[in-house]
Amino acid sequence: MKFPRALVVPAILVLGIVSVLAGCGTGSGLRLYVNSDADMSYYTKVAMVPFANLSAERFGGERVGRAFYTELVVGEHFHLVEDGEFRRALDKAGGSADVQGQYDSEKVKQAAAAVGANGLIRGTVTDYQIQRVGSGDSPVIGFDVEMIDVATGETVWRGSITRRGKGRIPVVGGASTQTFGRLVQESCKELVARLDKEAF
């Protein structure tokens, strides 16, 4: 049975829109590299640098960084330097963040030495926004994070993730803090779980 061309084209368009919306549910892109020569047991004390922020959201780096730190604490694989302690060490070393929240690598290294850390975790938030999809708003989170050896500067592991919240139902009030908070937590949890599986 043949359908009139006038009906076939709109039907294809509808199917395409449905596919896009379905893909905006909880789809994620996660990539992880683990240095096969690295011995994780060597890193007895690890400090985390406040995350840099390339997104339009002013507090994107701070929010994602705190969530990622929490998931690392829950994972119990690293002895983490307390956040406030490392920030004080950065201040003492003369380290101050630029407009994107990035620190001078030498100042960071000095701060790491001051707190006795032999591993450094640093990250950058690349996406933190609400995207309009049809009649609904979709929160989008993206960041990359890595751990480096303080002495050599070599990458121990590096990961990146992008996640999109559900877009079928409009977010009441626009950029809901609760919606973003949940998406940030899920993204950090997913990346740390993958790290647990592949690095330990």
pLDDT digits 0-9 by tens, 107-159: 999 999 999 999 999 999 999 998 887 777 889 999 999 999 999 999 999 99
Q: Could you give the angle at the alpha carbon of 7 between the alpha carbons of 137 and 13, nearest 5°?
A: 25
Where do we find the tokens 């998406």? 183
Mode of pairing for the β-strands spanning 52-53 and 136-149: unpaired
Across 59-80, average pLDDT: 96
Confidence of residue 26 (pLDDT cuts 50, 70, 90): low
Does residue 101 register a pLDDT over 80? yes
Mode of pairing for the β-strands spanning 28-34 and 46-48: unpaired
For the chain, domain boundaries: 26-199
Q: What integer pLDDT is reported at residue 165 of this predicted model?
A: 86
Q: What integer pLDDT is reported at residue 135 of this predicted model?
A: 73
Q: What integer pLDDT is reported at residue 23 of this predicted model?
A: 39
Confidence of residue 180 (pLDDT cuts 50, 70, 90): confident
pLDDT digits 0-9 by tens, 34-67: 999 999 999 999 999 999 999 999 999 999 999 9
52 or 7, which is more confident = 52
47's tokens: 């400090």
Q: What integer pLDDT is reported at residue 62 of this predicted model?
A: 96
Contacts of 107 (CB under 8 A, 6+ apart): 90, 93, 94, 95
Task: Say how far apart CA 159 and CA 147 lie, in whole Å.
Answer: 9
Q: What integer pLDDT is reported at residue 17 of this predicted model?
A: 36
76's tokens: 């119990």
Task: Say how far apart CA 162 and CA 33 lie, in whole Å.
Answer: 16
Q: What integer pLDDT is reported at residue 131 of this predicted model?
A: 86
CB-count exposure of residue 65 (10 Å: 0-12, 13-18, 19+): buried
Mode of pairing for the β-strands spanning 119-133 and 46-48: parallel
Report the CATH architecture of 26-199. 3-Layer(aba) Sandwich (3.40)
Q: What integer pLDDT is reported at residue 28 of this predicted model?
A: 56
Please give the model's pTM, rounded to 2 decimal places: 0.81
